[in-house]
Chain A
Amino acid sequence: MSLLEVNSLKTSFLVRTGEVKAVDGVSFTLEKGKVLGIVGESGSGKSVTAYSILQILSHPGKIIGGSIKLNDEELVGANPSFIQKIRGNKVSIIFQDPMTCLNPVFTIGNQLMEAILLHTSRNKKEARERALEMIRLVGINDPEKRLKQYPHELSGGMRQRIMIAMALACEPDVLIADEPTTALDVTIQAQILELMKKLQKELGMAIIMVTHDLGVIVQMCDEVIVMYAGRICEKGTVDEIFYEPKHEYTKGLIRSIPYGSKKESRLIPISGSPVDVLNLPKGCAFAPRCDKAMKICLEQKCELVSLNQTHSSSCWLNIADLIDKGQIAPDESIVPEDKEGGTANV
């Protein structure tokens, strides 16, 4: 049994102009003490996936299918009061922007103690002790003084540390970090990532790291999910994704990172623009930008196919490879040979 099991999760935003399928059939599992990275561009559904787990989607967003199991307990469709007990207690989240996520009219101490009082049986005095302990844990000096301060009195890096302290106060099993360092400078980012790594080892929690920064993924994660237009393109260990990328989008993403100076190389961008989530193409969402797109790519979405125990990809090219190698038979339902009738399993 895994700590967290997400199965064909579908989350949509029903807006006036149509249905935005922000997450369209995402499945993954998270083991205890592991760090899973979710990487993708803006609009790829990486944050919505994270928010769906905690069910903190903003208004028109709704989970319309799939299941999310935490310690074998179903979260989708569960009683809101049950979800409330999970939030901040078993699963916590750190948001991107520490400036807007702290309440400006309450002191740090007040906000830190709120979660502790809500989720544990500690009284006010014990909660205060715990808050002080947490502030020390995240490496902020003078904790007594900090408890009385307001968020505007702290720097960006310090606020993000407070957010981490708040998220970890109840010793969650899963920590979701949604772009935790995007708003911070590199030297501060290094501090925060180091801190998260240290705390993860000490407390043994699992982390879901949502980011667009491949550097953060490399530094932090054990496994990576690459998302594009609400679907998983590729899933694998960090080494598999960076050294043997199989999906054309992952390859493009890794190629487009600047290496060295301009005398050595020219950047290889992915052509075209990001997808319009309101008008997703019928086939693979990446096909319009893919140089190697085949006929089937434009017609039909490819399902995630496992290439080995840890590595899977949803690219028709990989399936073509597998057929060539004779590892899968062409008549299996995932490979609709009859393109005309082909609705098989998709």
Chain B
Amino acid sequence: MSDYIDHEYMVEVNNLKKYFDIPLGFFRTAKLKAVDDVSFFIRKGETLGLVGESGCGKTTVGRTLLQLYHPTGGQILFNGKELHTKEEIQAFRMKAAMVFQDPYSSLNPRMTVGDIIGEPLDVHHLYKTPEERQARIRELMELVGLSSEHATRYAHEFSGGQRQRIGIGRALAVNPELIVCDEPVSALDVSIQAQIINMFEDLQKKLGLTYLFIAHDILIVRHISDRIAVMYLGKIVETAESEEICDRPLHPYTQSLMSAVPSRDPETSRKSQRIILEGDVPSPLHVPSGCPFRTRCPKAFARCTEEVPLLREVAPNHFASCHLLEPKQE
């Protein structure tokens, strides 16, 4: 199935948990289980797409992975090693970077583009002379398709697509191996999205990058990812190769998610049968017992209320967590 000779996992996440305390009043808090028992891996040089609806915990997974949040439980292995000390985390920050969703609020309006891209270089002392810093900034700007003459301009002088390029340039400054892209194109116009997606693909080839690509647009995720993981209410419900999961989704949630995506072809749109889910996503403060999807699942039965389904291999390299997909026993 795979054309990767090197099967080394760059990132391995085991039973990751991240709970937030939400104040309810004096001395009362509630646990918000943003990420609850999530395990996945990312191979070197591949793109893992993480999709799900708002509030499903996909951004929290990305941020916890980058040690921006301290995990409540579980294990994150980076190149086979767990990170404990401050020095280890500091070194890890040179290997992993993040591209944010909103190119308007993620760039400091008081800094020039050169300084924004150069800031990681300053923080990690990655240059010896000011000339070296300038040269590196110029190189990075050209790498992301910006003219290096614009280094003295401010972020507001650029369009949305160009700002996203600045954000990507900043992420590349430390020469990372892993980039977590948190909805990097959802704020952009359709015609610009394609430019940025192509650039992500080119940079991956050129620099051998590994991506965790978080997005809610399934068409884009399908295009850019090698494998896709689908999240629902803090849990991964299904993961497989991107074509496999898009063409043959097995979990009822993935099935309805895929069918909800409006087709861009009038003929298929007229023919397609949509599975319309009832109701809304429950609040992550009150996750239903058993399978988190059971309240909206058209196929739910008694066992779903009682038992949490485990993520298991239901087809070769295709994992899903649903009681219906378990092999029949006895």
Contact = CB atoms under 8 A, between A and B. Distances in A.
Contacts of B259: 190
B3 to A, nearest CB: 10
A290 to B, nearest CB: 12
B90 interface: no
B260 interface: yes
A258 B269 CA distance: 16
A306 to B, nearest CB: 21
A101 to B, nearest CB: 18
Given A41-B191, A261-B242, A269 B262 contact: no
A218 B264 CA distance: 6
Contact of A269 (B191, B216, B264, B276): B191
A158 B280 contact: yes
Interface string A33-53: 000000001100000000000
Nearest to B242: A261
A270 B191 contact: yes
Contacts of B277: 187, 190-191
Contacts of B274: 190, 194
Interface in B77-133: none
A258 B280 contact: no
B207 interface: no
Contacts of B53: 185-188
A82 interface: no
A188 B280 contact: yes
Contacts of A194: 274, 276
Contacts, number: 123
Interface residues of A, number: 44
B16 interface: no
Contacts of B194: 256, 258, 267-270
B147 interface: no
B195 interface: yes
A262 B224 contact: yes
Interface stretch (A55-63, A69-77, A109-117, A238-246): A238-246
A215 B190 contact: no
B192 A214 contact: no
A243 B266 contact: yes
Interface in A236-268: 238-239, 242-243, 252-254, 256-262, 266-268
B54 interface: yes
B281 A185 contact: yes
A41 B190 contact: yes
B52 to A, nearest CB: 9
B222 A258 contact: yes
B256 interface: yes
A273 B242 contact: no
A218 B269 contact: yes
A158 B280 CA distance: 8
A214 B191 CA distance: 12
Most buried by B among A156, A187, A216, A218: A187
Given A212-B189, A269-B191, A269-B198, A186 B257 contact: yes
Given A185-B54, A267-B223, A256 B261 contact: no
A64 interface: no
26 contacts: A41-B191, A156-B280, A185-B216, A185-B281, A186-B53, A187-B53, A187-B256, A187-B260, A189-B260, A190-B260, A191-B276, A212-B190, A215-B261, A215-B262, A216-B262, A218-B266, A239-B266, A253-B190, A253-B191, A256-B190, A256-B194, A259-B264, A266-B198, A269-B197, A270-B192, A273-B159
Interface of A: 41-42, 155-158, 185-191, 193-194, 212-216, 218-219, 238-239, 242-243, 252-254, 256-262, 266-271, 273-274
